[in-house]
Structure 1
Amino acid sequence: MLGFLKPGTSQTGWTLFQWLFLIAAFLAAMVTFVAVSELDPIEPVSRDVQAMIIANTLIISILALIIVQRYRASRTLEKGAEGNRLARRFLLLFSLSAVIPALVVSVFLWAAISRGFDTWFGTRIVTLVEQTAAVARQNVEEYSDVLEEDTRLMATDVNNALEGLNEDPERFSSYLGIQAYVRNMPAAYVIDREGDPLAVGENTSGEGYFRRPTSQMFQDAERGEVILSLQEADGFATSLISLDGREDTFLYLAKPLDRDAFARLRRAEQALEEYRIAGELSTRSQTLFVVAYGQIVALVLLMAIRLALEAASRITGPIGRLANAAQSVRDGNLDIRVPLPRSKDEVRTLTRSFNVMTEQLGAQRSALISAREDAEDRRLFLETLLEEVSAGVIRIDESFRVTLANPSAEKLLDAEPPVEGRHLSVVAPAFLPYVEEAMASGQPIDASLDLRTAGGARHFRLKAARDTTGGLVLTFDDATRLVTAQRQLAWRDVARRIAHEIRNPLTPIQLSAERLRRRYTKYIPEDDQVFEKCTDTILRQVNDIGRMVEEFSGFARMPKPTLNSFDLAKLIDETGFAQQVVSPDIEVDIHHARKPLIIAADERLLGQAIGNIVKNAAEAIERLTDVEEKQGTIEIRTEEAEDSIAIVIEDNGPGFPEEARERLLEPYVTTREKGTGLGLAIVNRIIVDHGGSIQLQGREGSRNGARVRIMLPKQADLEELEDDAESTEVLS
């Protein structure tokens, strides 16, 4: 489209053409400005002046296109780059140097023009004309206000006497005429919704004042408004208002107009309109003057821009190349080099320094990349180590807020991820005393503590040490299984020694008591039962001690499980049936997820464990039913997952004590008077040897009773369990 504006083969000729065209346009604008300056502010603008302004606008537009094309051709940076800012500053400075003086001159020029136009359109004249119209308008408004007020007052009086319209219409019409006469009104009418008069009160001069209202006037009056209508041609005004005393009934009044007041209002408004039209003509003249002056300012601005382009093309070229190269360096290209300019000046020195700098930066970047790759490898190694290690690792800052936590820490603490940013008192409140001690002393700590989580009580080994940033690094691990295994080994050794020490004297005691009974019974009088009771007591206590010794021996000689596949549901059914036979007063309910439930485990040991739990439940219910008469129930149900089976045993007995619930799985801990504390310990050992877990809980809701939940893997890894047992023995 602008191909005719592109420079030809001769750059010098094209530049000369631009300057000649610019000077010609400037002269044309000056001629137009002189012509506009001689215009009369009241008379219409001639078409010749308008044509000159349009022609100048076209010339300026063409010149602007030429300069824009020249600017595009002279840009030293490619499209999309940041651009030659120095060249833009040249353009800005030259433009401001041209525009600011023009704006200053325009201010004084506009003041002179405005003063000249104020001679014809002064503020005092405008104010006088507007005040005359305002006075006439105020008289008409006062007339309307008086008519509206009289209408409302008369409507109130008519509403009070509206019953007379039906009783005595002639008398009511006379009353209506009196009301109109009192208020200097020639006529008053009571009409219906269709505009038909129901009562007419006309004075001697009141004939011919009724004009049927429109439907819109009736609608407006029904909303409680007073509807005024000026019948200027007839010389009177009417008002319409709705009467509240009767539905669809209206009061219609007529009052003569002050025709002189309305005539004065019309003349004042006509004079004001004529003066406003004259003001618009003067504004048009001023606008043309401003347009002509603006064209001159635009030409001056275009000349300044053309000069700025010429200066920028000669001065900012080398600097533009440096800026472009710096942009590339910022984007990461350190291999770029800028050609040295021919002139031996500061720009050449700057270019040489830039090339040396980029060369040094390239070498340093290569070294940094190599160092960063090494650091990244170490970081990935540490991240992998933290993610895979089973121990929990937490880093906290000086304000005890967590800044780093591995997945094992979140899992061990049952914390909802992410824990970063949260206070240690929220994530692990039990750690806080130890951490405060380490933070205050500056020395590492090594502590053991018990922590209650959603999975039950856990024993943790905690270590804390300061890092280089002033915070602390905490490492902790769940040592519950290790501590439990160590306790089991210790108690098994104790049980073995107790069984050995007690079993040796039991047999001689029992034999001696039996020989005493056989030998001396015949010498004891028949009525003396003391000897018989003493020997029975000795034998009974020996049997009880023997049973305890057998339990000690069984706990000490706990065999390793032999894994075989069998139906766990069938084993549970048999255990429940056996308990039902032993305790017929207790109802045993069994619910299975499905049948059969195949599991790889030691059937005898699992049967012993489940039977022990069911027997304990029955005994607890029997102790409770001796005091409270209620039906005892034991519920056994199974829940199957993808790789595990859960056995849940619930009863409605007294339940487990809250304070010692977790310790009931340890040896020699019992709540029964004659209990050995080995039953649940043996059960726990059997379940742990199968790679499972057991939890002692209370029944859900507000129901009393105990709840035992056993989790067993469908396929236990016996080799892994043996390795755990061996490592536990070594640690012990």
Structure 2
Amino acid sequence: MSNVLSQQASKASWALFEGLFIIAALVAVFATFIAISGVDPDNPTAGTTPWLLGLNFVVVIVLATIVVREYFAIQSNSESEGRGRLARRFVMLFGFSALVPSAIVAVFLGAIFTQGLDNWLGERVDSVMEKNAEIFRNYVDNFETTFDVDVRLAALDVENFARDVEASFGDGDVSRALSANTSVAFSEGLRSELAFRDFLTIAILGDDGVELIAEESVQDAILIPPPAAAFEEADRGEIATTLYENRGVATALIHITEPLNGYIYAVKNFDRNAAVRLREAEAEIIQYNNAKRQGGRLQTIFAIGYAQIAALVLLLAGRLGLEAAGRVTGPIGRLAMAAHTVRDGDLTVRVPVTGAKDEVYALSKSFNAMTEQLSEQRSALIRAREDEEDRRHFVETLLAEVSAGVIRMDPHMVVTLANRSAGDLLGVDEIQEGAFLADVAPDFVQFAKDTLQQGSPVDASIDINRNGAIRHFRLKTAPDPAGGCVLTFDDTTRLVNAQRQLAWRDVARRIAHEIRNPLTPIMLSTERLRRRYASSIDDTDGVFDRCIETILRQVGDIGRMVEEFSSFARMPKPNANKFDMKSVLEATSFSQGMVSPDIKVVFESEAESVTYLGDERLIGQAFGNLLKNAAEAIEGMPEEADVQGHIRVSLTESEKGLDITIEDNGPGFPEDVRDRLLEPYVTTREKGTGLGLAIVNRIIVDHGGSISLQNRLDGMRGARVRVWLPHDSLKVSETFDAQHDDELDELPAPAGLV
């Protein structure tokens, strides 16, 4: 709709311009023709010609306004349609094309017209009249120059005469002395100036220009009051000369300051006839100039008419240039602006496809097709980028929340990425980007080197000593497509321990089942042999009874061992209830103190009560076994050691969980088997079954905690057992069991448990 209105307005403007242009051209030609062939040669500018030219000038202004408005409209639309510069070039090109011929014609016509008028008016008459007037003008100028020089010299002489008077009368008032006619020499000096300078009168006036201080004249004094302008000119240091042509005299006024402040006034004869002739000559020149001026006006009218015609031609050229710009550069300008819009990122822009099916039409269609394809491709790229961002956020979230550690490094073994779990597993607060792998995880260096050298992944299980405890890690390395490699690892200590526990529990169940079945017949048969044959056998040396007792005692020991196997195989699941951990440890410590009175059992805790969610019976059983093992280790030391047994139990609570430490002053743990004492059937005592610590470990693991066996850290002899139990430990344990039930069957069994 806006385009249609714009086209209609353009057509109306063009029609108005055409009508006014025709009227203005006819008026300019008609007025110029009348001026050149005018009816009144003495006054060719009389009549209606000036009015026609003035009216035509208004029409030309209207036409110029239309063109200028169109021009500024194009300039204002240059930013929105992109055709301002090219349109201005069209206007300048058309205007220049019209200006050059107009200027050339104007030069030739002006020269011809001017030369014709000069010949018509006559250069000789002009020269004669100017020379005549110049003669009288020179006379007046020479008279004024001579008069000025005489007055200046007379002023110097008068100042000298006045200084003589001042010297004769001391420091008195010089003006008073001169006015009193007390100086004859001064009067003589003035008369000499009259004679020498050919003055009619010379007088000295006061500083007010009215007071007459001294005066000398040839005959009667001629004192014509000078005008105010003469006094102003004299005060500026100049000579104010005034010609009185009707009286035939000239007066001059000059200002003096020393030795008195006043004016020197001089009068001199002036040739009255010369002045009259000068005025007549000037009047004749004025009349001649008036005649020439009439020719100048004729030239002016001709110039104005021709200027209007030239202006009309220029306006027509400009209007044609604007029309050409609108029709030719419009589509190109819109394409240029659309291209700028596409450059700025807006691919929804389209250009109108109208007009004849020419190259511009095809270009507009191709441009619209191109922008549509670009828009579709950008939308596809944006969707792909959004998908990539979603995947990146997913991977980042996965790396941050996954329990396994992930480390990426470059070919120089420098860490470029590490998640939070990697630092937790390696016991580091945070793995900084740019750290060397050898500083962060030295145990992984060799596997990473193998991956970098061979270009193939590595899968390994390694044991790492962390804070005195052996932790089992599952490590996988893979080459990184960008260079370097990626390490993924996890702490499988609990997984390995759980697998071993399951394997040993199955062994214990099988052993208990296989041994329990023949034990009962053996015991019953032995009791029957004793009852039936004890009285009939001559057992003077007691061999029969000792053999029977040995059999029964060994069967009883085997029975108790079988019960321990059964207890280990039938470990119940913890039953969660809230209880006070401090009370449980105090009771356990007290009970062990009663059982072993020779050993001092001490419990320490700063908390008044420690609430814990777990199985109170199993927790009590676990710590009871640990205290029992500590007491048995102290009691098993040789007597010559002379050791006063001491067991210290401490409880500390933090935000993450509970930390229970049991220290004794016994022999400590042997270094060679310390890392395997938590496994079933591993013991350092001759009569031990090796299931006590395994059961304790099972209970602690079922509660989501961990247990570590160490020797005392203060350098003294003795063992140190540290148990850590997290809050909500049963939830942690259930989550762990749910995640790793399927993995237990996939892992290889430990050596010896086949």
**Please, what TM-score do these two structures have when normalized by structure 2?**
0.47
Higher CA-based Rg: 2
**Please, what TM-score do these two structures have when normalized by structure 1?**
0.48
